[in-house]
Amino acid sequence: MPAVQETIDQVKAIDVDQYKYGFVTDIESEKGAKGLSEETIRFLSAKKDEPEWMTEWRLDALRRFQQMEEPDWARVSYPKIDFDELYYWAAPKSVEGPKSLDEVDPELLETYEKLGIPLREQEILAGVAPENRVAVDAVFDSVSVVTTFKEELKKAGVIFCSISEAMREYPDLVKKYIGSVVPVTDNYYATLNSAVFSDGSFVYIPEGVRCPMELSTYFRINEQNTGQFERTLIIADKGSYVSYLEGCTAPQRDENQLHAAVVELVALDDAEIKYSTVQNWFPGDKDGKGGIYNFVTKRGDCRGKNSKISWTQVETGSAITWKYPSCILRGDNSRGEFYSIAVSNGHQQIDSGTKMIHLGKNTSSRVISKGISAGKSENTYRGLISAHRKASNARNFTQCDSLLIGQECGAHTVPYIESKNATAQFEHEATTSKISDDQMFYCLQRGMNEEEAVALIVNGFVKDVIQQLPMEFAVEAQKLISISLEGSVG
Amino acid sequence: MNANAPIRNTQAESDLIDRYDAAKSALAGSVAVSALRDNALGQIKDKGLPHRRVEEYKYSDLRAFMKSAAPLATAADSSAVKGVLEASETFGDLARFKIVVANGSFVAELSDIDALAAEGVTVSNLTDALSSDEGAQLLKSPKTGPNDGLVALNTAFVQGGVVVAVKDGAEVSKPLELVQLATATGAQVVRNKITVGKGAKLRVLESFSGDTGAGEINTVFDYDVADNATVAATRLIVGKTDAARLLTTIATLGADAEFKSLGFIAGPQFVRNQQFINFTGENSEAKIYGVSMAGGSDLADQTLIVDHAVPHCNSREFFKTVLDGEARGVYQGRINVAPHAQKTDGEMMTQALLLSETAEMANKPELEIFADDVLCAHGATSGQIDEDLLFYLRARGIPEDEAKTLLVLAFLSEAIEEYGEDDVTEGLEQRVRDWLAGH
Amino acid sequence: MLEIKNLHARIAEDETEILRGIDLTVNAGEVHAIMGPNGSGKSTLSYILAGKDDYEVTEGEILFNGENMLDMEPDERAAAGMFLAFQYPIEIPGVATMEFLKTAMNAQRKARGEDTLSIPDFMKRVKEAAAHLNVSMDMLKRPLNVGFSGGEKKRAEILQMSLLEPKLCVLDETDSGLDIDALRIVSEGVNKLRGPDRAMVVITHYQRLLDHIVPDVVHVLSKGKIVKTGDKDLALELEKNGYADIINAAA
């Protein structure tokens, strides 16, 4: 998701009540039958022309899901989801399988343009330096509508396509890695996703290749009563590097919609994956009506020695966020990073954080989390840092800061720090405060009004994380944060 | 795993149910107290002993630890009590008043009742209070956190203890030691209610002596600290024992009050030292310190919930843990700040030193904040002895063992010194040395 | 430019009375020094001029170019040309000094209905002003006042002052924490800003600052009142004899 000026301008106009991505694309679409059943899954799997093993994998997940209880440990509350009232498959009628751009419905292209996501390669090429190009996989409800720059990437040996396509074209790779980081039964929503996942992105970077451009997936939920269950799988083979960006929006609707994604990353020896998210699903209106339930399992496996996985997230959207991008530091000398900004306003509830599981020797991790609560929102950081028996010389540094704006919100910090190795060194710091009166007064004395002063101070507060984002994303994220907090002072 | 499904009782839980049936008629209390006891036992029956699936006991699974439950200790013989009392080495020759609870029951004749009365402190038997109309009130503390398992266990079985009341303005001249001792094996379940009147000052020492065999100690100290009152409570949980040491502090603070405590753990195999601090008046301060040392397969758990329900209160928590062998250290601390509890200042720090490859530390410092004009922070570190420092000391000719001892002492003394109460904590250095030499 | 009439003020929280009837008139082009012992109310006066809500004005008025200043919000006062150089400049982590300058300058321009500055124009102004004050680019990139030495903080204050081009400059103990070289640089920066359209109020405890920034008028503040007013020689007299004589004479 490159932040073209158009996007920035659009984002600029948003406030809590005016989520500008809230439009609905009027496009003829096809839905599967309502409800969660074996039929639904067989239908879905057939729609996608999947191999038999995949259908079985899904059915197995469904059976396990039906035995599971919804978790209740997170600090979020919402009415029970009736999985039989949801649709698990919705697709624009005009799309069947991956297409070249010429065949994509103009209505869809327009939608993405409105969102600031240019899909026409020639348009992107005009006026953009080659190193700043971004390849985009655009997922609309349950299907990937187009993936750009595929051919050029292929020349470098990089596979970037929808996971549906990957299942047909690269079944061995998919079979080898899917579910290997997030097992089918990992957790309630991951199991659900394993049963019904519709589409998502697949990336494979071959040995020694530095991916020639940023890769990005842009998720859009359009259809009503439809859950989005995407699944992303990224494999960085030995010595490779990739930077991947993810963005998401949804129309403004009165009912809540479910988004239960699974993202799996695998980094082999000396490989590095940088995964950035700007999450801007519809947060619900000012009374807390509507909005996306964002229940996501993201996990990276630093499987090889000297590998590195870095998560950066800017969470401003969704009615409820339940998300813990994690790293399993299995390879010796591997490194995990988690940089997060979570902004909650209105009636939003965020329960997010990370897990850094140190298994290998000389592994290191760094966690920087900045939470900002405003309005009537609840914002929780929940994190686990653990060093296992053999993780000698593991290192972690965690910094977890919360800022409260207003008296009706909550900010919570729940860190679990477990060391089973004496040579592991963990350091954790957390603070909770409000914007200091002195800082505010100082800014006002220099002529800024209250909103300008808050925006400035908040941007300073989140700076450490913003710096981790690719440049174009950073500008967008900063605007988004200011906008998310509009109306929170006064 | 359905949380509501009835559990299958373990051996220890069955033992506890039998213990209750056997002891019930002898346990003191009014009709209302009996009902509370029944209810509390019901909780153990239905939910079992606290176990790792209960968030607050995630790291300290009492259900798995307790293989069986010993019967309650029976009444002590006065001369035996005297013997144990004289042999006990809790706070050395520090001048102090003593109140003695032996085998779970208050021993008036060995307690300094008259001397304390002269200082404005009245001491009475908890069992009398339990049988009175106010008995149920004594056990009904809403301030312990939601349905805490240890407190329920205490309520079901409480044998005795003392009710201590310090009158308004009394500044008790010497520390008051609540001696809990054993002359015979068996479980001891004690509750002490300590009320400190307005503007009064009290220093309390809490100690445990004698061999309880396989019997656990479950003691609740319930402090009511009135406006402008000051309390310092030093708790010594030492000595080798296989039986669980389950200790709870409940402290409720009025306005402009100060409560501080130090929990010192060295020796027992399973210690849960939990504290619930509740601010109910403004401008009060709580300073909670902890020093844990655990070796072998010991578990030392310091758990704390500080509840800032009103504005303008400060709390400071500082905990140190030293682990060796395959020991496990646990620190769980939570600062709650209620809506409108503005100007709260809360600062929490937990640090652990792991001396062996196989020791484990779990730190969970939490903040739960619902007011915006607050300043709360926590920090947590864990690691091993700084090799550079160790080398430096050795290069100056200090043998490795002594160098390690010095560094451990330096590490722990940060918390002990900040706690203050130098006369009371004087003997702790030797305890640290002994522990390092002997475990 | 600035007229203070019978100003009484107290600390809002505990109602401690600090200012007990101050009368002061500062005309354009003048530099007034306010001196006084600790606790005399010097800093309080500067905060009240800037509009800090920790203080409550109980009596009297403040006119700024004829307008009632007490009705204005702090940012409105700033846009109208009131600048306070803080005794203890505030740190704002994560906000680069440069970014802060741009935000402040443009906020004031916007409030006055002027166009915001173009980036090249802004950069040119900053670089020029920074050079005079010996402020490096490196310092401008660092978060505002975070990790700045005492001298750096004060130089950054004067840099802001010169870029924001205020009509009234109030300098609160600008000399505190400065060594002799830093004092010279800062004073030169201030002197450069002296002009017929600008007024200055220099608050200080010591005379030494006034060797560098020579005042037109010197006031002695004690217990919330101006007890003596004179020319620059009054400062020298204070330096020699201390505050006690004057204060006792006034009492």
Instruction: Show the DSSP H helices in B95-148 as ranges.
Output: 113-118, 126-131, 135-139
Cβ neighbours of B362 in A, within 8 Å: 416-419
Contact A321, A74 (CB under 8 A): no
> What b/e readout covers B360-388, taking b as 16+ CB neighbours within 10 angstroms?
bbbbbbbbbbbbbbbebbbbbbbbbbeee
Give me the pLDDT at residue A98, please. Answer: 44
Segment-wise mean pLDDT, segments of 10 residues, chain A, 490 residues: 38 44 68 81 86 91 91 84 80 56 66 63 47 69 70 88 89 93 90 89 94 82 74 96 83 75 96 90 80 90 97 89 94 96 90 95 96 91 94 94 90 93 92 90 94 90 87 77 72
Report the alpha-carbon angle A93-A97-A100, nearest 5. Answer: 100
Size of interface A-B (CB pairs under 8 A): 120
Would an 8 Å CB–CB cutoff place C108 in contact with chain A?
A: yes
Tell me the C-alpha to C-alpha distance, in Å, between residue A117 and each of A146, A188, A347, B49, B146. Answer: 12, 32, 28, 57, 50
Cα A285 to Cα A319: distance, rounded to the nearest angstrom: 9
Helix then strand count (H, E) for chain B reads 12, 19
Report the alpha-carbon angle B1-B7-B8, nearest 5. Answer: 125
Give me the pLDDT at residue B145, please. Answer: 65
Would an 8 Å CB–CB cutoff place A405 in contact with chain B?
A: yes
Q: Find the mean pLDDT for residues B58-64.
A: 95
Give me the pLDDT at residue A114, please. Answer: 65
Contact A267, A307 (CB under 8 A): yes
Tell me the C-alpha to C-alpha distance, in Å, between residue C118 and each of C101, C122, C124. Answer: 13, 6, 10
Residue B324: closest C-alpha in chain A? A422
Q: Do A415 and B363 touch (CB under 8 A)?
A: yes
pLDDT band for B392, please (50, 70, 90 cuts). Answer: confident
Give me the pLDDT at residue B147, please. Answer: 79
Cβ neighbours of B377 in A, within 8 Å: 429-432
Give me the pLDDT at residue B302, please. Answer: 98
Across A72-81, B15-24, C128-137, least confident range: A72-81
Mutation target for C interface from A448, A451, A454: give the one with most C CBs within 10 A. A448
Give me the pLDDT at residue A143, please. Answer: 67
Cβ neighbours of C78 in A, within 8 Å: 444-447
Across A117-126, B343-352, C155-164, C177-186, least confident range: A117-126
Report the alpha-carbon angle C179-C184-C186, nearest 5. Answer: 95
Would an 8 Å CB–CB cutoff place C79 in contact with chain A?
A: yes
pTM of the model: 0.85
Q: Find the mean pLDDT for residues C235-251.
A: 80
Q: What residue segments make up the domains of chain C, in order of their start? A: 2-250
Residue A466: closest C-alpha in chain C? C94
The two beta strands, B97-102 and B105-106, are: antiparallel
Q: Do C73 and A464 touch (CB under 8 A)?
A: no
What's chain B's average pLDDT?
93
Write the CATH number of the domain with boundaries C2-250.
3.40.50.300
HSE-up of residue B311 (Cα within 13 Å, Cβ side):
8
Cα C84 to Cα B143: distance, rounded to the nearest angstrom: 50
pLDDT band for B146, please (50, 70, 90 cuts). Answer: low
Chains near C with 3+ CB pairs less than 8 A apart are A
| Residue pLDDT, tens place only, C197-223 | 999 999 998 888 898 999 999 999 999
Q: Find the mean pLDDT for residues B78-103.
A: 93
Measured distance between the N- and C-terminal CA atoms of chain C, rounded to whole angstroms: 30
Give me the pLDDT at residue B185, please. Answer: 94
Q: What residue segments make up the domains of chain B, in order of their start? A: 73-386
What sign results for the dihedral spanned by CA atoms B337, B299, B288, B247? Answer: positive
| Residue pLDDT, tens place only, C10-60 | 998 888 999 999 999 999 999 999 998 888 899 999 999 999 888 999 999
Give me the pLDDT at residue B1, please. Answer: 39
| Residue pLDDT, tens place only, A346-388 | 889 999 999 999 999 999 999 999 999 988 899 999 999 999 9
DSSP assignment letter at A103: G
Cα B250 to Cα B272: distance, rounded to the nearest angstrom: 14
Cβ neighbours of C83 in A, within 8 Å: 445
The two beta strands, C225-230 and C217-222, are: antiparallel
Give me the pLDDT at residue B396, please. Answer: 84
Would an 8 Å CB–CB cutoff place B2 in contact with chain A?
A: yes
Would an 8 Å CB–CB cutoff place A369 in contact with chain B?
A: no
| Residue pLDDT, tens place only, B290-326 | 999 999 999 999 999 999 999 999 999 999 999 999 9
Give me the pLDDT at residue A92, please. Answer: 67
Q: Which amino acid is at B236?
A: L
Residue A432: closest C-alpha in chain B? B376
Q: Which amino acid is at A174?
A: V
Cβ neighbours of C52 in A, within 8 Å: 441
Would an 8 Å CB–CB cutoff place B72 in contact with chain A?
A: no
Quote the crossing angle between the two packed helices C119-132 and C97-111, to the nearest 10°. 120
Give me the pLDDT at residue B215, please. Answer: 95
Q: How many CB atoms lie within 10 A of CB B54?
A: 19
Higher pLDDT, A80 or B436: B436
Contact B190, B216 (CB under 8 A): no
Q: Do A447 and C84 touch (CB under 8 A)?
A: no
Give the position of tokens 């469904």: A62
Q: Do B378 and A421 touch (CB under 8 A)?
A: no
DSSP assignment letter at C116: P
- Decide: helix, strand or coil at residue B431: helix
Please tell me which of the candidates C84, C99, C105 has its beta carbon nearest to residue A445.
C84
Cβ neighbours of A415 in B, within 8 Å: 363-366, 380
DSSP assignment letter at A228: B
Which of B413, B429, B420 is closest to B175 using CA atoms? B420
Residues present in chain C in total = 251
pLDDT band for B236, please (50, 70, 90 cuts). Answer: very high
CA-CA-CA-CA dihedral for C162, C164, C165, C168, to nearest 10? -100
